[in-house]
Chains A and B, each alone.
Chain A
Amino acid sequence: MRPLDAGIEQFLEAYSATPYVRELGIDYRGHGPNWAEMALPYRERLIAFPDEGFIASGAIFALADTTAGLAVFSALPQLEPIATLDLRLDYLRPATPGLDIVARVSCEKLTRRVGFVRGACHDGDPERPVAHITGTFMRTTAP
């Protein structure tokens, strides 16, 4: 049984209550055996430059990291600590001002010590991504 199957409500509640996740307003949207989807609401204080109205890339990066972490947790055989080793975002186009940003990330491969993730962000249409996400996570208590 996977960790999110057992006590999923409790885990997701705690994950969403992570202070920085809550501060940015990141919401849980869904998850499966090796994937997760979360959303970043459009908010004034997340804007990079007031004259353009685009969400700061740093806020999108935090959404990607948070969603990728949940994807790895979804894939783990039991609940254990993980840490982001590296994460890369390719910003394909600016997100449309006023629209929420959705990240969907899969843990494509899980080894004894590492989880490999891949995903994308969009602002309403998954066929028109705003960013690609690639990264690796360490299972920090693995020998």
Chain B
Amino acid sequence: MIDPRLSPFARMLAIEVAEDGPPLILRMPYRPFMIGAPERLHGGAVAGLMELAGSTALARALEGSDARFKPISVTVDYLRAGAPADCLAEARIIRLGRRIAHIECHAWQDDRGRPIAAARMNLLIDRA
């Protein structure tokens, strides 16, 4: 998924590329359906954004090869309550091995220095 618009789930969240990077930054424009607790973004929406940032970053890194990948484990830490506003997420590929990629993501809203959530992902790579 070089372009998040190719994913139906990413389209549902209206996710777009904010910066090509690296690090890649995706933006999730606020929509009223993203609310969880009153006046707060649902953690699942923020997790979805970070997972898409991670998998898009990896797809781009593997561009040109026939490699495919799938998540093995995803851990999300929620650091602050999300406001009903746009959310951004960056993904950094910490290690790209032959079989495993390890990626770290951060999500923030108005201030990049005050992240609302972080994610660590291990993805299994299948090199054809």
Chain A residues near B6: list those with CB within 8 A: 49-50
Contacts of B45 in A (CB 8 A): 20, 62
Q: Which residues on B sit within 8 Å (CB–CB) of A62? A: 42-45, 47-48
**Assuming A59-B48, A65-B43, A84-B43, is B76 touching A46 (CB within 8 A)?**
no
Known: A49-B6, A59-B9. A89 touches B74 (CB 8 A): yes
B36 to chain A, nearest CB (A): 5
CA distance A85 to B37 in the complex (A): 14
Cα–Cα, bound, A56→B81 (Å): 24
Interface centre among B9, B45, B52 (most CB of A within 10 A): B9
Query: Digit string of B70-89 for contact with A (CB within 8 Å is 1, else 0)?
Result: 11111111100100000000
A87, B11: Cα distance in complex, Å: 24
**Contact between B8 and A65, CB atoms less than 8 A apart:** no
How many of B's residues come within 8 Å of A, CB to CB? 34
Q: Scoring A residues 18 to 39 as 1 if CB is less than 8 Å from chain B, else 0, what string do you get?
A: 1111111000000000000000
Residues of B within 8 A of A19 (CB): 32-36, 42
Q: A23 touching B33 by the CB < 8 A rule?
A: yes
Looking across the interface, which residue of chain A has its beta carbon closest to that of B78? A84
Check B47–A58 contact: CB distance below 8 A. Answer: yes
Cβ of A91 within 8 Å of any chain B Cβ, yes or no, is yes
A66 at the interface (CB under 8 A from B): yes
Cβ contacts under 8 Å, A61 to chain B = 44, 47-48, 51, 74, 76
Shortest Cβ gap from A116 to chain B (Å): 15
**Which residues on A sit within 8 Å (CB–CB) of B47?**
58, 61-62, 65, 87
Q: Is A112 part of the binding interface, using a Cβ–Cβ cutoff of 8 Å?
A: no
Q: State whether B72 touches A20 (Cβ < 8 A).
A: no
Say yes or no: is B18 at the interface (Cβ < 8 Å to chain A).
Answer: no
Task: Report B1-46 residues with CB < 8 Å from chain A CB.
Answer: 1, 6-12, 32-37, 42-45
Determine whether A88 belongs to the interface, using a CB cutoff of 8 Å to chain B.
Answer: yes
A20-B42, A23-B33 known; A87 vs B9 contact (CB < 8 Å): no
Sample of 9 A–B contacts (CB below 8 Å): A19-B36, A56-B9, A58-B51, A85-B77, A85-B78, A86-B78, A87-B47, A90-B72, A91-B70
